[in-house]
Amino acid sequence: MTTTALPPLTKKDFQTDQEVRWCPGCGDYAILAAVQAVFPELGVPRENFVVVSGIGCSSRFPYYMNTYGFHSIHGRAPAVASGIKIAHPELEVWVATGDGDALAIGGNHTIHMLRRNVGIKVLLFNNRIYGLTKGQYSPTSEFHKITKSTPFGSPDHPFNPVSLAIGAEATFVARAVDVFQAHLKDTLKAAAAHKGSAFVEILQNCNIFNDGAWTGLTEKDTRSEHVMQLEHGKPLVFGKNRDKGIRRKSDGDIEVVPLGNGIAESDLVVHDAHHPRPSYAFLLSHMEHRPGFPTPIGVFRAWDDLPRYEDVINDQVREVIAKKGPGDLNRLLRAGDTWEVK
């Protein structure tokens, strides 16, 4: 794609005249602001952006982005986006989706898009609740959660979206938080730089139906104890005073260790986001479910050596044409055995 001779784009170029209709205080505003801030920096002409969504609060997103946009049907955004991307690989296709849209009704499309490595960026807004239908539990709601549809507590065990994406062998998997703006923007930029499928779970508050969805992670005084920021090539450290870390055990598992008393950062696991195999990233993605372990945010996995699906498909076309020449329709219609009636 060409970027020459274009005036630099600004955040304003990506805002629409549509009135934004999320509830006041919704985490979606922060995500919208971050995306609108990041898009102008990507060096992509505005007309090459396509934002695709399904159904849900998050899926209103395309209406507020002054790009090409497609507000599709519930759960199907990855499939609509795949069609667009296969048809025109040069387009920059982003999907805005939610925990219900991407993991319940659209779970199938999500995992298949990821395993194919279609070069689409997926932003999964995870507020652990159904907002647009007014408060039922979602596939990421906690076990036993009381909601409108589970007055006696949810009987479902939740999905961990990052684990699911890594399990589908997504080549880029990251987690960000709506209120950590700078980190969110950096994560979006990293996703944009990835050629293959990029999956970003964005922890997001729903102040109407699930207020405090991520309180433990976002409160100023507690967050550094509960959140661990991943950085490629850096040791896994967390804690208010950066005094805890993650160490490999001899059996291959990991443990939380206090730093000091003979344990140094050099004893800790050094984050390797670029490892071709997903097992290490999967291990990281699961630690938050264990007592005493932090919730990692940042890029879990960014391995970009897998060919993109749309390139494979379009390369097949190019290769066949290079070998056989462009198809001759008259010849095709006359293929096989023919006979003349006079």
Partner 1 sequence: MSTLMDVPAGKTKREVIDQAVIRFAGDSGDGMQITGSQFTNTVALYGNDIATFPDYPAEIRAPAGTVPGVSGFQLNFSSEEVHTPGDSIDVLIAMNPAALKVNVGDLKANGIAIINSDSFKESDLRKAHLTTNPLEDHSLDKFRVFPVELQRLTRSALQHLGLDAKAMDRCKNFFALGMCYWLYNRSMEPTVRWIDDKFKKKPLLAEANKLALKAGYSYCEATEAFQISYEIPPAQLSPGLYRNLSGNQALALGFVTAAKKAGLKLFLGSYPITPASDILHELSQYKDFGVLTFQAEDEIAAITSSIGASYAGCLAITSTSGPGMALKTEALGLAVMTELPLVICNIQRGGPSTGLPTKTEQADLLQALFGRNSEAPIPVLAAATPGDCFWIAVEASRIALKYMVPVIILSDGYLANGAEPWRIPSVEEIPGIPVRFATDPEGFLPYKRDPETLARPWAIPGTPGLEHRIGGLEKQDVTGNINYEPLNHEKMVRIRAAKIDAIVQDVPNVLPSGDPEGDLLLVSWGSTYGSITQAVKAERAKGRKLGHLHLRYLNPLPANLGDILKRYRKILVPELNMGQLLWVLRAKYLVDAVGLNKIQGRPFKQNELEQKIEELLGRQEAR
Tell me which residues touch partner 1 (CB under 8 A): 16, 18, 45-50, 52-53, 55, 62-63, 65-73, 76, 78-88, 90-91, 108-109, 112, 313-314, 316-317, 319-321, 324-327, 329-330, 332-342
**Exposure class string for 266-295: b at 16+ Cβ within 10 A, else e:** eebbebebeeeebebbbbbbbbbeeeebbb
Rounded CA-CA distance 197/172 in Å is: 6
Least distance CB 32 / partner 1 (angstroms): 14
Residue 104, burial from CB neighbour count under 10 angstroms (0-12, 13-18, 19+): middle
Sign of CA dihedral 121, 137, 71, 112: positive
- CA angle, 149 then 155 then 161, to 5°: 95
- 74 φ/ψ angles, rounded to the nearest 5 degrees: -60, 115
Going by C-beta distance under 8 Å and a sequence separation of 6 or more, which residues neighbour residue 181?
30, 33, 34
Structure tokens at 288: 């938050």
Q: Which is nearer to partner 1, 105 or 263 (CB)?
A: 105
Least distance CB 100 / partner 1 (angstroms): 16
**Exposure class string for 2-21: b at 16+ Cβ within 10 A, else e:** eeeeeeebeeeebeeeeeee
Q: Which is nearer to partner 1, 220 or 324 (CB)?
A: 324
Chain centroid offset of residue 189 CA: 12
Structure tokens at 95: 């999907």
In the chain, the amino acid numbered 136 is Q
Q: Which is nearer to partner 1, 107 or 158 (CB)?
A: 107
Q: Which is nearer to partner 1, 69 or 100 (CB)?
A: 69
Q: Which is nearer to partner 1, 182 or 329 (CB)?
A: 329
Q: Which is nearer to partner 1, 29 or 63 (CB)?
A: 63
Least distance CB 178 / partner 1 (angstroms): 23
Least distance CB 331 / partner 1 (angstroms): 10
Least distance CB 342 / partner 1 (angstroms): 6
Q: Which is nearer to partner 1, 59 or 205 (CB)?
A: 59
Least distance CB 190 / partner 1 (angstroms): 24
Least distance CB 39 / partner 1 (angstroms): 12
Q: Which is nearer to partner 1, 30 or 84 (CB)?
A: 84
Least distance CB 84 / partner 1 (angstroms): 4
Rounded CA-CA distance 237/229 in Å is: 8
